[in-house]
Amino acid sequence: MADHGRAAKLGDQVKEIIAKRLDKGLRDPRLGFVTITDVRMTGDLQHAAVFYTVYGTEQEREDSAAALKAATGMLRTEVGRNIRTRLTPTLEFIPDAIPENAAHVASLLAEARERDSAAAALAAAAEYAGDPDPYVQPRDRADDDEE
């Protein structure tokens, strides 16, 4: 049975180790401004999925992905030196979709605001379909006496 607590703790350690190593710098000029967002370990602690984001253009993202792929062996060695496990986990770098998802949600919220303001403008100019006062009014007593 897998110990999920231990996997989470080891994932946090791996995240710290990789982030510190990237902060020191790699000798690869393709590496841009990379942020490690999350590390998820498998239950047997033999594989680590490392999620990252890159600040910059699409070309900088692609270059950083290639640099991380090229540095995977060196980063795995660094992780192996700094953790206390029998086996060093393999590393897989996965681009995190948080910025794209956030931009999509922001655009959806802007569209919803526009539609709400359009609906409010229509409601402000709307009129009732029937009489202005659709409720039955009590008759005056003077009208009753004449009949």
pLDDT, tens only, 43-92: 888 999 999 988 888 888 888 889 889 889 999 999 999 988 888 999 99
Burial of residue 72, with CB atoms counted within 10 A of its CB: 0-12 exposed, 13-18 middle, 19 or more buried: middle
Does pLDDT of 113 surpass 90? Answer: yes
pTM: 0.67
What per-residue confidence (pLDDT) applies to 112?
Answer: 94
Decide if domain 4-96 falls under CATH 3.30.300.20: yes
pLDDT at 4 (0 to 100): 81
- For the chain, what are the domain ranges? 4-96
Q: Residue 96: its pLDDT value, please?
A: 85
Q: pLDDT value at position 23?
A: 85
What value does the mean pLDDT take over residues 8-12?
89
**Residue 2: predicted pLDDT:** 59
Q: In this predicted structure, what is the pLDDT of residue 57? A: 84
Tallying the residues shown for the chain, one arrives at: 147
CA distance 37 to 53: 7
